[in-house]
Amino acid sequence: MKKKILIISGGISKERSISLDTGRQVAKELKKNGYEVKITEPNYKFFRKIKSFKPKVIFNALHGQFGEDGYIQTILESTRIPYTHSGVIASALAMDKEISKKIFIKNNILTPKYFCYSFNLSKNNLIKKIEKETKFPVVIKPINEGSSVNVFICNKSNIFRKLKLLKEYRKIIIEEFISGREIQAAIIGSNKLGAIELKPKRKFYDYQAKYNPKAKTKHLIPVDLTKKEYNKLMDIALKAHKILKCRGVTRSDFKFYRNRFYLLEINTQPGMTKLSLVPEIAAFKKISFIRLIELLLKDAIKIK
């Protein structure tokens, strides 16, 4: 019998449904390949499940707040059981878009101009600040959400209507909108896995474009780049992965505009659903789904 794997999925973030789907699909693949698997929620029964099941590795299939921001990682550290994906600090840094952007800039990684906003300016002053620092259109988004949850492209006519939808957040990012091509690059361990280009029929690659099959986003692989451009893209993705001290797999979101790659953000817990990009990139590289999962499990054990 192969190792016991405990999968933690669900949670309380806005990405709960995606996490549950990731957990189910990873569990199905592991069971099919002879692993003993249990799935658990990160609730009061969590430690009881660990004690009774005694897993060799914990597969972290959580997404969003409390799942990829260092919170659950802190709890997992206390179990002294190896777990997949990035650790406490890397998860916290990557999830906080303000901090990660500062790190990118400090390390000469191109990222869109931005400023943080705490709903503390009059309408006129906010417009003036945007026109001075980023120009319209702008992207507004929470500092600590994933999967493009509550991300909007705004102009002068709709920005205050969209800002009302983000009132639940203490602070948000207002960022210059970069047009151009949507390209995602994946790193696993310290290796360049590959890239994929997305052509959403919607205005941009938002939550619906990512997870609604009816959105009909085109996935283009291999990406139409020169060898030099492709190598540059993957070098930036690997650099971001390393400077944040990520482990396991990461997926970096880029815009390619006027021959320049703009790093939007880095995702330390990419989805593992049928519509997820990392498994698709891996498949193109002749890495099966089970092999991809096993690489993450081996990486977790290696760290411990």
> Pick the catalytic residue: 91, 147, 252, 276?
147
Q: Of 71, 114, 211, 262, which one is the catalytic site residue?
A: 211
* 265 part of the active site: yes
211 annotated active-site: yes
Residues 151, 135: Cα–Cα separation, whole Å: 17
- Treating both helix axes as pointing N-terminal to C-terminal, what angle do 46-53 and 71-79 enclose, rounded to 10 degrees? 30
Quote the CA–CA distance of 141 and 173 in Å, as a whole number. Answer: 5
21 is catalytic: no
- Residues 80 and 206: their CA atoms lie apart, in Å, by 37
Question: Which one of the listed residues 83, 206, 251, 299 is annotated catalytic?
Answer: 251
CB 221 within 8 A of CB 279: no
Q: Where are the alpha helices (DSSP H) in the chain?
A: 16-32, 46-53, 71-79, 88-95, 97-106, 123-133, 159-163, 207-211, 227-243, 277-284, 289-303
Of the residues 271, 276, 294, 299, only one is catalytic, namely: 271
Q: Of 206, 267, 294, 299, which one is the catalytic site residue? A: 267
CB atoms within 10 A of CB 106: 9
Is 267 catalytic? The answer is: yes
Name the active-site residue from 253, 262, 294, 299.
253
Nearest to 84 by CA among 71, 97, 68: 68
The one catalytic residue among 15, 29, 69, 175? 15
259 as an active site residue: the answer is no
List 265, 276, 294, 299, catalytic entry: 265
DSSP 8-state code for residue 166: G
Q: Is 108 a catalytic residue?
A: no
**In b/e form, how buried is each residue of 282-298, taking b as 16+ CB within 10 angstroms?**
beeeebebeebbbbbbe
253 part of the active site: yes
Alpha carbon distance 138, 159 (integer Å)? 9
Token pair for 74? 């802190």
148 is catalytic: no
Task: Return the structure tokens found at 208.
Answer: 């619906």
The end-to-end CA distance of the chain, in Å, is: 22
Active-site amino acid positions: 15, 147, 211, 251, 253, 265, 267, 271
